[in-house]
Amino acid sequence: MGYCCRRMSKRERSNTLDNMVSHVVAAQQEGIRTVRSCNSCDFSSDPDVCICLVTWNMNGRVSYEDLVELVGSKRKFDLLVVGLQEAPRKSISRMLQATLAETHVLLGKAIMQSVQLYVFGSKDSELYTKELKVDKQSVGGLGGLIGRKKGAVAIHINFRGIRMVFISCHLSAHAHNVEERNSQCRHISHSLFTKSKHWNPYAPPAQLTVWLGDLNYRLQGIDNQPARKLIGKDLQAVRVPSWTDRILFKIEDADKIKAILRSYESVDGIESSDHKPVKAHLCLKLNPNQDQ
């Protein structure tokens, strides 16, 4: 969502916000449910893998200070997955590695111009990593200097015996393009890792799939208060406030692997883009019923 800098009176701000909120179009999202975050895991023993997930539409700009803010100082996670959209032409990989040099190493990356994905692991994580594969699927947009590539990049990884797929994507913009986004999702889902010469149709499916990025879907049922909190008190918003940046996850078999979402939040301290980064902390436990 974007802003311009014309100052407005208190009455103008109120009328503008009410008008923007009233134009939010409700849209059903079949097959997707909301999961509440917890402050701590409810496993009787430590989780097998803790993952920090980040998605950010960078709007073509970045600084080292932004990346330090993005990854944070509390790094007690086994994996850090960073999905980027509208990434600048700078070497984000080197900047992220410099930011994480003391605690984590780069395990894999997938890049399709401005759509990018990085997976970092703790210092000893290479010992527990295998079957790492990357893939990408374009669905249009303009990359290069414009930096508006649309599509998805993905990384498949077996980490500590858990098969995982991470997908960073950027779908078509604008509220009315719902069917186009749905079509792009289907194409990406059916194409990733299925057209590679190394594809094995008999390979077991991923136990965890994480789909994150600027999905550009608008929010259903928004009321005035959440919208007002996100809009600057003296700036005029150009577009309807929207939670277009999402982190979605799917567990293949809940009896064999359990996931607890510990936190889900935006990184409001970063202001270089018209999007706020979204961060989630997900903890996984293999064979959770054995502890009962």
- The pLDDT assigned to 94 comes to 93
153 and 115 Cβ atoms separated by less than 8 Å:
yes
pLDDT averaged over every residue in the chain:
80
Structural domain boundaries, residue 11: 3-25+37-291
pLDDT at 166 over 60: yes
Q: Is residue 32 part of a domain?
A: no
pLDDT at 193 over 50: yes
Q: How confident is the model at residue 27 (pLDDT cuts 50, 70, 90)?
A: very low
pLDDT at 14 over 70: no
Q: Is residue 139 part of a domain?
A: yes
Q: Where residue 113 sits, what CATH number does that domain have?
A: 3.60.10.10
Q: Is residue 161 part of a domain?
A: yes
Q: Is residue 30 part of a domain?
A: no
Counting the structural domains of the chain, the total is: 1
pLDDT at 113 over 60: yes
Q: How confident is the model at residue 31 (pLDDT cuts 50, 70, 90)?
A: low
Q: How confident is the model at residue 17 (pLDDT cuts 50, 70, 90)?
A: very low
Q: Is residue 198 part of a domain?
A: yes
- The pLDDT assigned to 23 comes to 36
